Amino acid sequence: MDNFKHTEMITYFYLKNLRELLEYATNKNKTKEDYDTKKKIFEQVISENGLITTIVIKNNPDQTDKIKELFEDFMFNVFNDRVISFEDNKMHFDVALKLNFFKSIHDVHELFNSVSLSQINFAHNKQQENYDKSIEELLNKEDVLYRTFFLSVLDFAVRETFLDFVNEMNSSKGQANPQTNFITNILGQYLQISFSIMDGNPRLDDALFLEAKHRFKTAIDAITGKLGKKTLKDQEDYFILATEAIDKCLVVAEAEWVKVFNPLLKETIEFEQNLKK
């Protein structure tokens, strides 16, 4: 591993940490120690010597205010006691704030992903015949894993929000009201993120992901009327098929990611140990 490859791995670790933050929406066993560590990591990245300041803002000075605002929103929506809190080391996640939590993670992930892709393109052009494709392979595996895991949490959120809408409409005897309008707005924003995750990488050709994407889009079509009038049972069945396809893809994607990540992690640790000698 050389210095440039090490820099690529450092950038990658931010992507990995962003994916792991999504776990807080589903895993009640996450620890305060892990949460605080991640908060410090992302506080550092926007500091004077952090990666975003020294690479992204330096090369895009006209975007400084926009990038800083993006990170301020991210820190507020993700690392905030109103969103995630701990009592006796037991985590509480405020599901009412889940939408902004997801949106901020997605927005910052897009930023780091663009940095990683720029580094890959630079390595392609600079190293040419000596180009080491291992980081690029890791990023490809990470992208499948990230998008699949995001689909798993969005699948639950969309399904849950839709059922809230159905229950409210039943309570109001089919009449729209401020509450149904509010739920519809939330559902629309979840669907917007969902399509961004599903279609954000047009080069992604993983067969299991494409099947999961197809099943989830079909479930969305079922609740938005694109498949014609469907019963609630029909709509639920579409979501069951989507969840099964997403879960299947997630198991394989994680296993494939581990095979690529572990050797690079070992290489990174050895490189950093040698630097200290």
Structure tokens at 52: 């975003």
Domain borders along the chain are 1-96, 133-277
> What is the C-alpha to C-alpha distance for residues 229 and 231, in angstroms, rounded to an integer?
7
Task: Check pLDDT > 80 for residue 123.
Answer: yes
Per-residue model confidence as pLDDT tens digits over 30-78:
999 999 999 999 999 988 888 888 888 888 888 899 999 999 999 999 9
Which residues touch 55 (CB under 8 Å, ≥6 apart)? 115
Beta bridge partners of 155: none
- Cβ-contact 94, 82 below 8 angstroms: yes
Structure tokens at 205: 């050709």
Task: Check pLDDT > 80 for residue 127.
Answer: no
For residue 152, the tally of other CB atoms under 10 A from its CB is 21
Which one, of 111, 101, 224, 213, lies nearest residue 162 by Cα? 224
> What is the C-alpha to C-alpha distance for residues 66 and 53, in angstroms, rounded to an integer?
13
- Cβ-contact 116, 4 below 8 angstroms: no
What CATH number does domain 133-277 carry, 1.10.260, 1.10.287, 2.60.40, 1.20.120? 1.20.120
